[in-house]
Amino acid sequence: PARNEVARNVMEENGVAIDDLYSLVLPVRDTVGRSNDVHFQPAGYDLLAKQIATGIETKLPSQKASAAEKPLQHLTAWFKVS
């Protein structure tokens, strides 16, 4: 929370892209997290992978590539994103 705000300010001042996974997970951590643990259930990892892949894809140059050429296809498949 307080440290996140400081980090956000530093990143914005320096033009660094931010993917706020904390805010993404916070409202659903009871359903996607594990009790007394910092790790996630499979649904939590799917949620994170989708957010990360989308964030990366929005920063990549636009290109019309076949499914085999899409750079994040292997990443999302590895995380079992549906």
pLDDT at 5 over 60: yes
Q: Which single residue is written with the structure tokens 């997290």?
A: 33
Length of the chain, in residues: 82
DSSP string covering 18-60: ---HHHHHGGGHHHHB-TTSSSB-HHHHHHHHHHHHHHHHHHS
Q: What is the pLDDT of residues 31-82, one digit of tens each?
A: 998 888 889 989 999 999 999 999 998 888 766 655 555 555 555 555 555 4
pLDDT of residue 17: 87
